[in-house]
Amino acid sequence: MASNYMGVGAKDKCRRWDKKGKGYIYVSRPQVINNYNSNMGGVDKMDFLITLYRTFIRSKKWTLRMFAHAIDMACVNGWLEYKEKAANMGVAKNDVLDLLHFRAYVAEVLILAGKTSTRKRGRPAADSPGPSTPKPLKVRPEIRPVAEVQLDRLDHLPSIDEKDFASRYKVPGCKGRSRILCQICNVHLCLTKKSNCFAIYHTK
């Protein structure tokens, strides 16, 4: 066995079955073996959790497989720490994410973090063909970024929305309307001398 924090250490005696002698004998055991046997349940549990939602790669390169395995291992370890902290904080079990939703949440944060919006805004061009028949208006659900993206303080720059009507602010307690839009979060926030909801939204 190989270890990055312990060598042979203090040896002890352990009882093992001897096939030739057909009886128990006492053999010398290094400390690293003793520690592995005491904590191997955690290794087995991690391997089991990784197999539930393993990242499959068709490539035969061992480097890519090791990289994918490292990501899966980091997600499992992060989820176990998340569960432990949630229990210490008294979070209800129904509000704690399971492993699948935790992985989806981490993926969403990594995809949206620091990503500038590329959606085109403003009125359509004059030469663009209009629809032959008017389409019924659809109420789109309000989409807000996750907290890790909202509070990462990376490239949250304001832009001017060119809609016909100003949109309502997204900060609780602020009932006004604004044309100022965050390029990352895609939410409308006020930015005036009297109130700066743009800074409040990205810091709280």
Integer CA distances (angstroms), 160 to 5, 93, 106, 148, 167, in order? 56, 42, 30, 24, 11
62 shares a domain with 30:
no
Element (H, E) at 14: strand 12-18
Any idea which residue has 């490539």 for tokens?
Answer: 59
Structure tokens at 175: 């009932």
Measured between alpha carbons, how far is 2 from 121 in angstroms, rounded to an integer? 58
Of 26-35, 36-45, 158-167, minimum mean pLDDT range: 158-167
DSSP structural state of residue 152: S
Structural domain contains residue 21? yes
97 shares a domain with 66:
yes
Share of the chain above pLDDT 90, in %: 18
24 shares a domain with 60:
no
191 shares a domain with 158:
yes
107 shares a domain with 71:
yes
Measured between alpha carbons, how far is 56 from 78 in angstroms, rounded to an integer? 20
Structural domain contains residue 121? no
67 shares a domain with 34:
no
pLDDT in tens, 41-95: 888 888 999 999 998 888 888 899 999 999 999 999 999 999 999 999 988 888 8
What value does the mean pLDDT take over residues 141-156? 70
Domain span at residue 24?
1-40
Structure tokens at 138: 């659809």
Structural domain contains residue 94? yes
What value does the mean pLDDT take over residues 159-175? 69
Give the pLDDT of residue 139: 46
61 shares a domain with 28:
no
Structural domain contains residue 92? yes
Measured between alpha carbons, how far is 80 from 19 in angstroms, rounded to an integer? 40
Structural domain contains residue 19? yes
Asked whether residue 102 carries a pLDDT value surpassing 60, the answer given is yes
199 shares a domain with 175:
yes
| Dmax (CA) of the chain | 94
Looking at the structure of the chain, the number of domains it has is: 3
Give backbone dihedrals phi and psi of 23, rounded to 5 degrees, phi first: -170, 170
Structural domain contains residue 137? no
35 shares a domain with 8:
yes
DSSP structural state of residue 173: T
185 shares a domain with 152:
yes
Give backbone dihedrals phi and psi of 29, rounded to 5 degrees, phi first: -130, 125
**What is the distance of C-alpha 122 from the center of its chain?**
33
Structural domain contains residue 96? yes
Q: Is the CB of residue 32 less than 8 Å from the CB of residue 9?
A: yes
DSSP structural state of residue 188: B
154 shares a domain with 107:
no
Structural domain contains residue 123? no
